[in-house]
Amino acid sequence: MLQNRLLFRVSLVLFIAAAYLLISGSPVLTWSVSDHLQLPLGTLTTWVGFIAFTLTILTGVLPNTKPHNRFYWFLSKVLLLNLLVAILWVPISFLLSGTLSFTFGQRIGFQGGQLAMKLFWGMNYCLVAIPLLVLLLHWGYVLFNRLKIQRNVPK
């Protein structure tokens, strides 16, 4: 339990920091971590942000739920799959773009082309949308159960 709380707090801080840098468009994001690899700090920031966002929802919401509930079992498996894709985000994105700066253009082949770009952006949207959807489903489930309990209370 203590590990979950610590992981939640660290993940939340990392997510907030990454989100702030990405939303503000900080010039720090263009700094090169490795000139040889052409790896901008924005790539690492985004990667940490995706992982931390999923971990924040996974460790902040789901541990407080009943583990025997099939609904929450399914949500936790969805988040674990999302976490796996977030961890593999850099290698997958590199395979799609051909560079660690994840640039795409009008290339003839698949790698770095328009279809690869669409897959890249679809993956990015899903890495954000899925944890948000899980959070919304959790809130809806909690609200539905509270309303159901309130209706069953005798007056």
Note the pLDDT tens digit of each residue in 33-80. 877 777 888 889 999 999 999 999 998 887 666 666 888 889 989 999
Rounded to the nearest integer, the mean pLDDT of the chain is 87
- What span, in angstroms and rounded, lies between the C-alpha atoms of 41 and 47? 10
Q: Give the whole-number percent of the chain exceeding pLDDT 70.
A: 92
How sure is the predictor about 100, in pLDDT bands with cuts at 50, 70 and 90? confident
- What span, in angstroms and rounded, lies between the C-alpha atoms of 125 and 129? 6
pLDDT given at position 101:
79
Q: For the packed helices 41-60 and 70-87, what is the interaxial angle rounded to 10 degrees?
A: 170
pLDDT given at position 64:
66
Number of neighbouring beta carbons within 10 Å of residue 77 = 10
pLDDT given at position 5:
84
- Encode 6-74 in three state secondary structure: HHHHHHHHHHHHHHHHHHHCCHHHHCEEECCCCEEHHHHHHHHHHHHHHHHHHHHCHHHCCCCCHHHHH
Largest CA distance in the chain: 72
Q: Are 71 and 141 in contact (CB under 8 A)?
A: yes
- What span, in angstroms and rounded, lies between the C-alpha atoms of 22 and 127? 15
pLDDT given at position 68:
66
Does 20 score more than 90 pLDDT? Answer: yes
Q: What is the pTM of this model?
A: 0.86
Does 131 score more than 90 pLDDT? Answer: yes
